[in-house]
Amino acid sequence: EAQVTQNPRYLITVTGKKLTVTCSQNMNHEYMSWYRQDPGLGLRQIYYSMNVEVTDKGDVPEGYKVSRKEKRNFPLILESPSPNQTSLYFCASSLWGTSGRPQETQYFGPGTRLLVL
Amino acid sequence: SQQGEEDPQALSIQEGENATMNCSYKTSINNLQWYRQNSGRGLVHLILIRSNEREKHSGRLRVTLDTSKKSSSLLITASRAADTASYFCALISNFGNEKLTFGTGTRLTIIP
């Protein structure tokens, strides 16, 4: 089954304790991205990756890191989490469009709900 | 901002009625997409409409795009209780970045 998986689905942590949220897709998609969703603010992109070893900042990258060592995986790393990073996080993937943009359907993971105390 | 803005923010209708949601934007777009999100779950893609298209259908969904007015609408006909969800428009602009930018969504409630 074609899907994007995220782990963990729920996480409670404390300020400053490094954590990683994993994301994996089995559709051979080039483009992957991370979003956070907060009430009243919609989805905001954190980082995106156009292919292996190619990543770039989205709208709200501060406090986050990503890596893309393999095509299927795109982990999100919070080196020193803070309470303002409490949010619902989504990973998404898609094919890379022929005109050089991710024109195709975005496939979303189920979300990771993070609480930083 | 390249973000789309949905209107209304919330909509409640009786089951069986039609629901219309609108999305306005400010930039020139490559394509515009509509997604549905059930409470606390991941987003599900509904329809993608390209800038050279004016209307697309998928089952009970109809999407229109007016690039001169920089707006799109999503119509759900013969609504069902299972259509209760948040609906987001998302767009990719023509100006040099690869980001898919989401609006803040319309919360649709179907009353049985």
The better pLDDT of the pair A42, A61 is held by A61
Give me the mean pLDDT over the A67-95 stretch: 96
Note the Cα A44 to chain centre separation in Å. Answer: 11
- d(CA B18, CA B58) in angstroms, rounded, equals 15
Between B27 and A62, whose confidence is greater?
A62
Query: What integer pLDDT is reported at residue B2 of this predicted model?
Result: 58
Looking at beta carbons, which residues of chain A come within 8 Å of B48? Answer: 103-105
Q: Of B76, B84, B82, give the one whose Cα is nearest residue B17.
A: B76
Is residue A111 within 8 Å of A90, Cβ to Cβ? yes
pLDDT of residue A104: 67
Segment 49-78 of chain A within 8 Å of chain B by CB = 50, 56, 58-59
Beta strands in A2-109 (DSSP E): 4-7, 10-13, 19-25, 31-38, 42-51, 54-57, 65-66, 76-78, 87-94, 107-108
Band (A103; pLDDT cuts 50, 70, 90)? low
**pLDDT score at B39:** 86
So what's the pLDDT on residue B41? 86
The number of CA neighbours under 13 Å toward the Cβ of B76 is 28
Instruction: Give the list of residues 6+ apart from residue A10 with CB closer than 8 angstroms, or none.
Output: A112, A113
- Closest-CA distance, A38 to chain B, in angstroms, reads 10
